[in-house]
Each structure stands twice: as structure tokens, then as C-alpha cells.
Amino acid sequence: MKKLAFLAVVLWTALLASSCNKENTTAKANLSYSFGVSNLYASLGTTAATSGTPVAQGTNGSINWTSMSLNIAKIVFNASHAGSNVAFESKNFNAVNPLQAGILSGTVSIPAGVYENIKFNLTLTENATVPIFTLNGTYIEASGTQIPVSVQFTQSQLLNYEAKRVEVVAGDYVANVSIKINMLVTGLTRNDFGQTTRTGNNNAIVVNSTTNKALYDKLMANLASTISFDVAKK
């Protein structure tokens, strides 16, 4: 009798564990993307080593960004999950303003569980009329003279990023796309901005794939290093 009772308890425990495991593997979570930017004001020194450091707004010998717009064709979340490689795609992030914190977009449903070897593939697709990334701001010379700057990145890019392991349960999660924009001018100097062709009555510095291309190429080379990803529960 005792043996029968013991077996019944064992079977019930196993059934309960199996039920719980089944619930865990079928539970769903929502993953959304949030964009944010930091370090809008960065030094532009006489040497490469003294550029790209965050500084106070309005500092002489600096670049101050005031507005930006990002257009992303798609983001793919790749990872190892439950013994398999999985991928979840979100599309059409249009006119994203990283200065507006807290806005969520590109929501996808993902199974609960542990995600490892996480990689995010960020696709920026060239468009003749809509740049992939536009930045506007002011270059402040060492003398204090302020010169408007407008940068338009138009070339297609496929950027790959890694993120830490995360254990997902039912609920809402956010992939934070962080842009440290000071890193855009890392390795540059004041001369890169100072020795440029100027446009219009305000002597603006316009930077794109055809105007001030030498500066454009240097900024484009730094673009990938400004972005990072991190996944967290909302």
C-alpha cells in the first residue's frame, strides 16, 4: 500500500514537472526596440587623440549635435535557443529620432527561454531620396565661431552587433539601441572640419557622398562603432 502511494506521488510529481516545462517552452514574450543617443557634444582637438571626448555644450573646439533621423530597413535578432538557431525580423524603422527616448517600435513575439550567442543584424539600405542617417549640428571653432553642420549618410550598411545572454519569461522586453554619437569623431581633428568646402550664406558644412567626401568617408568609417545593443525586461 505504501509502495503504491509512493509511486502515485512520484508519478504526480513527474506529471506536474512535465506540465510546468511545457508551459515554460510555450510561453511568449514581446521584444521591442528603443533608440537612444548620448554624448551629443564632443571635442575636436588639434590631434586625433584629443577628439571624441564628451564635453559641455558650447565648448570651443567641439561638435554639437542638435537633431538626427535614422532610417533602418530591418533588424534581425539572432540567437541560440532551446538547442536551435532562431531569428526574428523587424522591418521599416522610418524616421527614427534617437533624441526622443522611450518610444518603442518593431515589436515581435518570441518564445520564453534562454537566449545565448545573441547577434543583432542592422540593415541600412541606400535610398536616393531618404538618407540612412541624418545629423545636424554646429561645429564650434577654437575661436568660438559657430558653423552649421549637416551630415547625410546614404550608403547601404549591414552592421552586426553582439549582446549578452538573456533569460526571457512571459512579458515585455526591450532591445535598447544605444548611440554614443561622440564616437563618430573619434580619431578626427579640427582640420577635418575646418578645411572643408562651405555652402550658402551661413558658410554651412554640408557632408555627404559627393560634398566634402574626405570627411564623409572618415565619419562613415566610425558609424558602426557608435552603436551597441542590450536586451532587458521592461
| Interatomic CA distance for residues 70 and 34, integer angstroms | 12
Q: How many CB atoms lie within 10 A of CB 181?
A: 22
Q: What is the pLDDT of residue 183?
A: 98
The set of cell numbers assigned to 127 is 535610398
On whether residue 16 sits in a domain, the answer given is no
Supply the pTM of this predicted model.
Answer: 0.85
Pairing of strands 157-163, 84-96: unpaired
- Contact indicator for 141, 196 with CB cutoff of 8 Å: no
User: Is residue 38 one of the residues assigned to a domain?
Assistant: yes
Interval 170-206: pLDDT, tens: 999 999 999 999 999 999 999 999 999 999 889 999 9
Domain that holds residue 116: 27-233
Please give the pLDDT value at position 24.
Answer: 47
Please name the residue that has the C-alpha cell 564632443.
Answer: 42
Beta strand pairing call for 133-140 and 62-81: antiparallel
Flag whether 22 is in a domain: no
Q: How far apart are CA 209 and CA 216, in angstroms?
A: 6
Q: Is residue 182 part of a domain?
A: yes
Domain count, the chain: 1
Kindly report the backbone phi and psi dihedral angles of residue 202, in degrees, each rounded to the nearest multiple of 5, phi listed first.
Answer: -95, 10
- pLDDT for residue 2: 46
Alpha helices in 139-232 (DSSP H): 190-194, 213-223
Q: Closest Cα partner for 182 from 83, 76, 51, 26?
A: 51
| Domain assignment present for 190 | yes
**What are the backbone angles phi and psi of residue 96, rounded to the nearest 5°?**
-70, 130
CA atoms within 13 A on the CB side of 104: 10
Cα–Cα distance for residue pair 102/100, rounded to 1 Å = 7
3-state helix, strand, coil in the chain (%, to 5): 20, 50, 30
Determine the residue type at 92. Answer: N
pLDDT at 202: 92
* 60 assigned to some structural domain: yes
What pLDDT shows up at residue 25?
Answer: 52
Does residue 52 lie within any of the structural domains? yes
Specify the amino acid at residue 44.
L
List of the chain residues with pLDDT < 70: 1-26, 128
Rg of the chain in Å (alpha carbons)? 24
Is 150 a member of any domain? yes
